[in-house]
Amino acid sequence: MELFRALAVLAEPPDRPEVARLARLLDLGEPPSLSDYTETFVFQLPPFASVYVGAEGMLGGEARDRVAGFLAALGQTPPTEPDHLVTLLATYAELAAPDEDGVKEDEEHARSVEGRRIARAAFLWEHLLSWLPAYIDKLAEVAPPFYRRWGELLLDALLEEAGGAGPPAALPLHLREAPAMSDPRAGSADEFMQSLLAPARSGLILTRADLARAGHALGAGLRAGERRFALKSLLGQDAAGALRWLADEAFGWAERHARRRDALGEVAEWWARRAEATATLLLELGSSAGEMA
């Protein structure tokens, strides 16, 4: 489990002295620059579980509270940002740590070991595998080489753990509680855009880089800023084109999720269904917008 501790450190700002040492140890190449870190983890892909499994698609909310509750149940005092990836990986490493030498192996110890095994598997599926495979997929597209290699190593380790833990008894609560996409024909345009930017609702991750790519493909002018404003601008300039572009993205995500069915079972299937439903909705909306143009 030292690997997970090392990967947690590498998700921290690169000015920590341990980062360079661990980068060499894991053969990840030259350590990232502070600008690489900022672009990756601040502007493109904030490493917080609540952003990807929360109904709001933003920091905090019930998703963060669930993580804090799990940590409290483990006897820990949750930090200010309990759902940060550094905290999650460090916690998993601690749960998976081997027993100390010299511990008396009696019935009480056996119960403790079994309890920790159950907690470890629950934490793995609920707070890591519920969102990190999709996160790492997007990381591979938008991050600089160091963080792409870091993500590949992390994903390999997580999938190995999934194989050892076996499938979860139930779909992670984060996913069970996530509402579906909002249809603007039945609700508001603002709610539709918010749900599209919330991965657990839409089934896809849209970064600032993705929206800039959409703007380029559609010949739309976009100003640098928050994703919501960029999305609103795209829809305002070319609604039909933007909706079709987004539908293609969603179908791509559905295929991507589906490829992990063997490794992640119902979790991958859930994400694939979400993305496919979003793609279908976007195609319908795009067709209607095209007819009105």
Percent of the chain clearing pLDDT 70 (strictly above): 94
Assign 54 to helix, strand or coil.
Answer: coil
Calpha distance 63→175 (Å, rounded): 10
Give 14-69 pLDDT, tens digit per residue: 998 899 999 999 999 899 999 999 999 999 999 999 999 999 999 999 999 999 99
Contact 203, 211 (CB under 8 A): no
Rounded to 5 degrees, φ, ψ at 152 are: -60, -45
Full set of structural domains in the chain with CATH: 2-175 (1.10.3480.10), 180-292 (no CATH)
| Average pLDDT, integer, range 247-274 | 98
Average pLDDT, the chain: 93
Q: Is the dihedral of CA 7, 9, 14, 19 positive or negative?
A: negative
Percent of the chain clearing pLDDT 90 (strictly above): 84
Task: Quote the pLDDT of residue 222.
Answer: 79
Specify the pTM. 0.93
Calpha distance 219→197 (Å, rounded): 21
Calpha distance 202→182 (Å, rounded): 9
Residue 119's closest CA among 85, 96, 88, 86?
A: 96
Rounded to 5 degrees, φ, ψ at 265 are: 55, -130
Calpha distance 74→62 (Å, rounded): 18
**pLDDT higher at 106 or 7:** 7
Task: Please check the confidence at residue 101 and state whether its pLDDT lies above 50.
Answer: no
